[in-house]
Amino acid sequence: MINGTSGSAPSRDLPAVIKAVAQQQASPQELLDAWLGATVYCVRPDRPGVYVAETPEGQVVGICTSLEELARFAGECDWFCTTGSDLLAQLPTGVDIILDPSGSHPLRINPGALEIRQGLQLNYQNTQGGS
């Protein structure tokens, strides 16, 4: 189950929250709140699902916050969009998300942490792509 918060606090757009988290100026809860209702963009594979890449740190899927970020990441491609909440519900177990992988503030998220701790596990990436 994915839990977020609701209330009268104004929501922030996902790219702004990603940048704030990368600069350690926003909390994992703020990221979760922005993520759940945000529209996210993915490369559309031939079959339903998402493209999953193998890395030394495990399986990942690149998710973008805009069509511009998707073009920067994947070039010209077929794509689909969904909400962050829907993507989490359909993501295979053990696959991490990298938000805006070619952007100025790529952010790796372990979605499994949402079920265990009802929060996000964040790995800050340096400018060379390391964690």
Task: Give the integer Cα–Cα distance in Å for 91 and 79.
Answer: 16
Q: How many CB atoms lie within 10 A of CB 115?
A: 12
Least confident of 54-58, 84-88, 90-94: 90-94
Task: Give the integer Cα–Cα distance in Å for 12 and 16.
Answer: 7
The structural domains of the chain, with segments of one domain joined by +, span 39-116
How confident is the model at residue 41, as a pLDDT?
Answer: 96
pLDDT value at 58 more than 50: yes
pLDDT value at 130 more than 60: no
CATH topology of domain 39-116: Trna Endonuclease; Chain: A, domain 1 (3.40.1350)
Q: What is the mean pLDDT of residues 74-94?
A: 91
Burial class (CB in 10 A: 0-12, 13-18, 19+), 7: exposed
pLDDT value at 3 more than 60: no
pLDDT value at 34 more than 80: yes
Instruction: Tell me the pTM.
Output: 0.74
pLDDT value at 45 more than 70: yes
